[in-house]
Structure 1
Amino acid sequence: MSRRRTLLALAVAGTAWTVPLGPAAPPAHAAPEPVPPADASPVMDPARAVDYWTARKQSKADAAELPEAMVLPAGKRRGRTGDRPAARPGERPGERSEERSAERGERPGERPGGRPVEGPGEQPGPRPAVLGSEGRPVSVPVAERLTPGADANGYGRMRRPYTRAANSRATGRLFFLDADGTRRSCSGAVVNSGSRLLLATAAHCVYGVSKRDNRGRWSSNLAFVPAYDGHAKASADRAPYGVWGARRVWKPRAFTGEGHWDWDSIYDLALVEVGRRGDRTLQGTVGAYTPLRNEGGRFTVTTLGYPSDEPYDGTRQLWCLGRTQPWSGYARPDRRVTGRLYTDNCHLFGGNSGGPWLDRDTGLLLGVLSSGAADESTAGYAVANPFGRASYGALVRDADPHGVYDALSVKGSVSGARVSAVVTMRGLVAASVPVTFELPHGVSLAPGSRCRASGRQVTCPAGVVRPGDPVTVSFPVRGVAGERASYRVRVPVSHLDPERGDNTHVFGPSARR
């Protein structure tokens, strides 16, 4: 496949799910909005997929095909002056791929670190082209390659064997037959789930439109190989944890595989359920990433995957370090919305679609690669869809009906001149949410905290709340409240929360933690 084609990235968007640097959060008391519907594939035979994908067929699989319409026209690519044309309706902006690695002393595959960079959601500015030794543009200027030892496209190699690092074990290569029966591959990430059998990838890897009859079809014979190593000498070492055949797949109904907007869609995210191998589950065998529900924004990310377009061949697990900023995507053919992740520290190449993007600061899974542009354009970039409400939130309830995904609860207390609340997550995802307090008459926020007041309402950032790891929010107050005065604290409500009564707590001066 031509390296000019765009790649696919992480898919997620949401409104009730919030991150400190994403779109503005809805009021904490607001009822969750309706969830977009999801489509499920017919039940598949995992054993058939395992039998089909022999080591030889795996080595011959091509990258998931992307439409030429997603490639920046030659006349629209930036030249040496660094000018970038503005995106027009129906035209994909010059996105870029994201995979650089600046580690701060960490090794690839170890838990990422780094912090989101706060700021407004502006679009990237122009970047001058840089010429290589042969006078041709290189994908990522040297000064912008954050990944230690990165190649011209921002990629670095993960250390082998991939079985040694948790991130490498939970990342794998996804093989499948596309809508026309062609052997293809993408990347995928094992996600924390109640069934312990789920992985996330890009929707365009699991559903597409046939070129023969122009009909939409699910991909078939899907098989996932965690920690795939095409350079291992022994066949067993190429698939150190075996081949896991898919049983069922889910995608947002809004992703149809038709039109250029679907290849730049906020709905380009899918969940794949694999079958068991004997009594073993996928998550129990290789571990899993914990998703951070978010709507995109500014982060420092570590990306992993298996690019297979030239100059790559899909045999190696590669990684990239990048800095992201907010980006938009299509919610429908005539409407673009914010809520995605964009980086130009890494360029997109086929086969990397569906690969995980991790928050370097927390190691949590932000989203998966969905789209971008490769190195033939000097405006290369990569875009991921986050684990947000419109994509992941629309899928996970159907894909894992027995899992608990967003059981946030809060309990407040007041002691002297200080008000506090403990926020707890009982689900399978992490969240970064605002905590909103309502103070009684006569009491107000005192200086010396990160909280903000608007009248009697005080809103405080809770940071990242992980499953089973409560977070305490506290701030000083001044003034005197009556003996029967009451305080109220609340956290946002999600449609995935099975017990919404504990999202709000009313307490008084006698309340204790």
Structure 2
Amino acid sequence: MTLSTPLLAAAPLVAGLLGPALIGATPEQHLGRAPVASASPAAGHTAAGGDVVEHVAARGPADQRRVLDYWTTQRMADALPIGLLDVVTKGDGLLGGLTGETGLGAAPDLSNGRLVATPDLSSGTLSSVPLPAGPRERTAGGAKQADKPRHQSARPLTTTSGSRWAIGGAVSRTTGRVFLTMSGVDFVCSASTVRSANRDVVVTAGHCVKDGTGGWAENWTFVPGYGTGSPRPYGQWTARRMFVAGPWSRTADDSYDVGMVALSTSGGRHVADVVGTQQIAFNGTRGGHAFGFGYPADPPYDGEHLVYCSGRLRDDPYGDTRDQGLGCDMTAGSSGGPWMSTFDAATGKGTITSLSSFKYSNDQRTMYGPYLGDSAKKLYLTAERA
């Protein structure tokens, strides 16, 4: 597996994006890998990877109620952003030995190729662990700090590496926070509703659904419009079925870091009927301009506000993935947040063409996101029929 940095709410984040090819016309860090130069972009990532791996989550009303009851206001507040957690992996999956109930401690020191203060949550202590071999490094984030307010404007900035979204519109409802449990630890991510036949589908990062080659997330719930007046302004929806691509499940290939989740209804209502949806596109033109949204939770953010980045997309300079990069300072917790092209700030609607996935360890100012090609399209078509 190639090591990268997932942006769950316990470590730094990731992002990337591209251009559109619409599904449903009309009508939400993996950070810090060490780069490896490559002669051509996307080398070694031409396989279709079209197989879909599925997991049944909440099986009925009893399971749904258990998940809803699990996420108390305090548990939501204590959940960690999932970031570059595979640095301490000792077994399968990205999280490895990160189990227990304590938060992550000191930020890693990568200057000498080692994690000087890597969290060992099983014992509640910090220990030094060598970084795993491979082309990328992952890092784990530190304790939360008070949010430092970012620029707010009644007009969206054409270029910004991270500003609070204060305009409202559809994106403030369709984007939300995800709360989940992985390896016994509670985490947060971001996600977005998408237009779908069953009116139940949200898109997020693959590492916010399944721990790479490891286990599936538990207690998975989506809270759209989080923080706009109350923690659950529109309610919350539990997962009933989860889908990731085969290459993510088998090798945690970052080019396939996409997850689709079919939600259960809440009070008999589909999520799309309550908060609306965004369009999603596949096999679009690369490059162009994009807006990326999410709920970063590591400093200088606190996960309580919808934040956006905006700018031009560019290919992975190392050719290590098919991902595209967007100038973005968002941190862990923004993983899975939607990147939109043809975005209309007046309505808050756009076309999702990627999502926040990872950052390279030597460039914390650029987020990378997967290209939504045939594999992502198959995930979507499977999820909307679930």
Query: Cα offset for 1:327?
Result: 2.5
Please give the alpha-carbon distance, in whole angstroms, between the structure 2 residues aligned to 1:66 and 1:337. 17
Using a 3 Å threshold, how does the CA distance of structure 1 residues 297 and 318 change in structure 2: closer, same or farther?
Answer: same
Please give the alpha-carbon distance, in whole angstroms, between the structure 2 residues aligned to 1:64 and 1:5. 5
5+ residue gaps in structure 2? 1-6, 24-40, 42-46, 88-93, 95-107, 114-132, 139-149, 345-349
Using a 3 Å threshold, how does the CA distance of structure 1 residues 266 and 358 change in structure 2: closer, same or farther?
Answer: same
**TM-superposition CA deviations, 1:178-233 (whole Å, max 9, x none):** 1x110100000101100000000001111116xxxxx721000001000100x84x
Residue identity matched to 1:256 = S
Say if 2:174 and 2:275, in contact at 8 Å, map to a contact too.
yes
* Aligned residues between the structures: 300
5+ residue gaps in structure 1? 18-22, 24-32, 77-88, 95-100, 115-145, 148-153, 210-214, 331-335, 403-513
2:67 aligned counterpart, secondary structure:
helix
- Check if 1:239 corresponds to 2:232: yes
Please give the alpha-carbon distance, in whole angstroms, between the structure 2 residues aligned to 1:220 and 1:3. 15
Could you say what the CA RMSD is over the residues aligned between the two structures, in angstroms? 3.8
Please give the alpha-carbon distance, in whole angstroms, between the structure 2 residues aligned to 1:58 and 1:206. 17
- Residue in structure 2 matched with residue 63 of structure 1 by the alignment: 81
Say if 1:13 and 1:385, in contact at 8 Å, map to a contact too.
no
Say if 2:173 and 2:224, in contact at 8 Å, map to a contact too.
yes
- Residue in structure 2 matched with residue 341 of structure 1 by the alignment: 324
Using a 3 Å threshold, how does the CA distance of structure 1 residues 39 and 267 change in structure 2: closer, same or farther?
Answer: same
- Check if 1:303 corresponds to 2:292: yes
- Residue in structure 1 matched with residue 352 of structure 2 by the alignment: 365
- Check if 1:393 corresponds to 2:377: yes
Query: Cα offset for 1:354?
Result: 0.1
- Give 1:15-164 correspondences, 5 Å limit: 36-44=50-58, 45-67=63-85, 69=87, 73-74=110-111, 90-92=134-136, 107-108=155-156, 146-147=159-160, 154-159=161-166, 164=168
1:396 aligned counterpart, secondary structure:
helix
2:255 aligned counterpart, secondary structure:
coil
Using a 3 Å threshold, how does the CA distance of structure 1 residues 7 and 257 change in structure 2: closer, same or farther?
Answer: farther
Please give the alpha-carbon distance, in whole angstroms, between the structure 2 residues aligned to 1:2 and 1:242. 22
Using a 3 Å threshold, how does the CA distance of structure 1 residues 247 and 218 change in structure 2: closer, same or farther?
Answer: same
Say if 1:7 and 1:349, in contact at 8 Å, map to a contact too.
yes
Please give the alpha-carbon distance, in whole angstroms, between the structure 1 residues aligned to 2:236 and 2:8. 28
1:279 aligned counterpart, secondary structure:
coil
- Give 1:412-423 correspondences, 5 Å limit: none
- Check if 1:249 corresponds to 2:236: no
Using a 3 Å threshold, how does the CA distance of structure 1 residues 43 and 57 change in structure 2: closer, same or farther?
Answer: closer
Residue identity matched to 1:351 = G
Say if 1:307 and 1:351, in contact at 8 Å, map to a contact too.
yes
* Displacement over 6 Å in runs of 4+: 1-4, 11-15
2:257 aligned counterpart, secondary structure:
coil
**TM-superposition CA deviations, 1:252-310 (whole Å, max 9, x none):** 1211375xxx2x61110000111111231101110111012235621211111000112
Moved more, 189-198 or 285-294: 285-294
Using a 3 Å threshold, how does the CA distance of structure 1 residues 63 and 371 change in structure 2: closer, same or farther?
Answer: same
Using a 3 Å threshold, how does the CA distance of structure 1 residues 295 and 61 change in structure 2: closer, same or farther?
Answer: same
Using a 3 Å threshold, how does the CA distance of structure 1 residues 12 and 266 change in structure 2: closer, same or farther?
Answer: farther
Whose radius of gyration is greater, 1 or 2?
1
- Check if 1:176 corresponds to 2:180: yes
Using a 3 Å threshold, how does the CA distance of structure 1 residues 74 and 322 change in structure 2: closer, same or farther?
Answer: farther
Using a 3 Å threshold, how does the CA distance of structure 1 residues 65 and 342 change in structure 2: closer, same or farther?
Answer: closer
Query: Cα offset for 1:64?
Result: 1.2
**Relative contact order: is structure 1 or structure 2 higher (C-alpha 8 Å, sep ≥ 6)?**
2
Say if 1:7 and 1:382, in contact at 8 Å, map to a contact too.
yes
Please give the alpha-carbon distance, in whole angstroms, between the structure 1 residues aligned to 2:364 and 2:338. 22
Please give the alpha-carbon distance, in whole angstroms, between the structure 2 residues aligned to 1:293 and 1:311. 33
Say if 1:12 and 1:266, in contact at 8 Å, map to a contact too.
no
- Check if 1:8 corresponds to 2:14: yes
Query: Cα offset for 1:397?
Result: 2.7
- Check if 1:204 corresponds to 2:211: no
2:77 aligned counterpart, secondary structure:
helix
- Check if 1:165 corresponds to 2:183: no
Residue identity matched to 1:369 = S
Query: Cα offset for 1:68?
Result: 5.7
Please give the alpha-carbon distance, in whole angstroms, between the structure 1 residues aligned to 2:151 and 2:75. 35
Please give the alpha-carbon distance, in whole angstroms, between the structure 1 residues aligned to 2:370 and 2:261. 16
TM-score of the two chains, using structure 2 as the length reference:
0.67
TM-score of the two chains, using structure 1 as the length reference:
0.52
**TM-superposition CA deviations, 1:55-101 (whole Å, max 9, x none):** 1211111101423649994369xxxxxxxxxxxx941399xxxxxx9
Please give the alpha-carbon distance, in whole angstroms, between the structure 2 residues aligned to 1:279 and 1:365. 27
Query: Cα offset for 1:8?
Result: 3.4
Say if 1:12 and 1:388, in contact at 8 Å, map to a contact too.
no
Residue identity matched to 1:382 = M
- Give 1:245-394 correspondences, 5 Å limit: 245-256=238-249, 262=252, 265-294=254-283, 297-327=286-316, 336-338=320-322, 340-343=323-326, 345-360=327-342, 363-373=350-360, 380-390=365-375, 392-394=376-378
Query: Cα offset for 1:313?
Result: 1.8
Using a 3 Å threshold, how does the CA distance of structure 1 residues 356 and 14 change in structure 2: closer, same or farther?
Answer: closer
